[in-house]
Amino acid sequence: MRAWKIGLIGTGWWSEKHLNAWSRITNAQVTALCDLSREKLARRGTAYGIPPQRQYDRADEMLSEAEIDIVDIVTGPDTHLALVRQAAAAGKHILCQKPFARTEAEAREMVELARAAGVRLMVAENWRWLSRFQRIKRLLDEGRVGKLHAIRYIHSDYYTPRMKPEIALPQPFFRDMPRLLFYEMGAHWYDTWRFLFGTPSRLYAETMTVSPYVRGEDAGIVALGYEDHYGYMDMSWATRQKLDAPLGDEVGPVHLEQLIVDGEKGTIKLYADGAIGFVAMDGGGESRLLEPHPLDHEDSHLRLQAHMIECIERGEPFQTSGEDNLATLRMMFGTYESAANHTPVFFDREERRQA
């Protein structure tokens, strides 16, 4: 069996999830690491058995010297275009973290670079691969709710009002991002929404910044319209549903998500603890379909990365190819347009076809 050789760029906070997943995929092997920070590079190199001669502080050196088939980009969006350009020019397949791009034009450029170079490009949208959303997708595909009526998606609890300058954050760059919630998390939400319900025909958004410690928006609502049903998102990092008081000095991500899907045959309910229930329209109580569980990020990355390898081997399309992600970005950037102009944003037929 062929082992696909992976060169990972960006050995920061989230790279651990990628590296753990690669180590669980039998026909994949991380052969090289790259980061601007020698310290972060050495830390991950030691933990994952990558020798110092395969630890690079320059992507071009890694690409020309190391044996690599796939480049896994785990850096922020500001670096994606340059790194995708280099990886495509070197003839490597690419996995790129979300948010995929700073603008839609930049995203289209990356898709074109990969196409012209004949390499495969996938965006690391792991949220749809979480157990809870995989389960809901199966329920929808089985027709459990029938024709959709209304979809309600609620997210809370990271709690930006506690992000005082002196408090350490896993991702301190959150404080300075001019677009925060619907850029950083919106990539996940819109990808997952499209996975479950398809791309809507229009949206309308209101956003605001509540915490004095972040620059970008940390709360917002989005109404999403379809021909015969509707949905809304009520997302806030400034709302504390369950976060324990007193808050303390340690800040880690807390993501509570609830989803209610109403249809002609019944209602799916995703609770904040990860449990899923179903209430049939024709009577009877709620049945439990999935037990409470934490967000299984590690497993979501295993499914995502295994999907990438499988699709490359079989020559099949990725669920979240760079091209597919253009529709996700259209919803994300449309949210900012709508909120700034107080007008709805419409998605044309071509964008919806990518759903």
- Positions in the binding site for ligand NAD (CB under 6 A): 9-15, 34-37, 40, 59, 74-77, 79, 97-98, 124, 126, 171, 184
Nearer to ligand NAD, 10 or 45 (CB): 10
Nearer to ligand NAD, 189 or 347 (CB): 189
Q: Which residue is nearest to ligand NAD (CB)?
A: 12
Nearer to ligand NAD, 130 or 140 (CB): 130
- The least CB distance from residue 324 to ligand NAD, in Å, is 16
- Name the one residue in this structure whose structure tokens are 């044309």: 348
The answer to whether residues 220 and 160 touch, using CB atoms and an 8 Å cutoff, is no
Nearer to ligand NAD, 157 or 184 (CB): 184
Nearer to ligand NAD, 71 or 222 (CB): 71
Nearer to ligand NAD, 66 or 268 (CB): 66
- The least CB distance from residue 144 to ligand NAD, in Å, is 28
- The least CB distance from residue 163 to ligand NAD, in Å, is 15
- Name the one residue in this structure whose structure tokens are 């091209």: 323
The answer to whether residues 135 and 290 touch, using CB atoms and an 8 Å cutoff, is yes
Please give the helix or strand (H or E) that residue 298 lies within, else none. Answer: helix 297-314
State the Cα torsion 186-128-235-205 to the nearest 10°: 50
Residue 139: partners with Cβ closer than 8 Å, 6 or more residues away: 145, 268, 276, 278, 289
Residue 213: partners with Cβ closer than 8 Å, 6 or more residues away: 160, 161, 163, 164, 165, 175
The backbone region for 289, taken as left when phi is positive above 0, alpha when psi lies in -120 to 50, beta otherwise, is: alpha
- The least CB distance from residue 273 to ligand NAD, in Å, is 19
Please give the helix or strand (H or E) that residue 49 lies within, else none. Answer: none
- The least CB distance from residue 91 to ligand NAD, in Å, is 19
Distances (CA, A) of 262 to 25, 26, 208: 37, 40, 28
Give the pair of three-digit tokens for residue 106: 């930049």
Nearer to ligand NAD, 171 or 321 (CB): 171
- The least CB distance from residue 43 to ligand NAD, in Å, is 10
- The least CB distance from residue 183 to ligand NAD, in Å, is 9
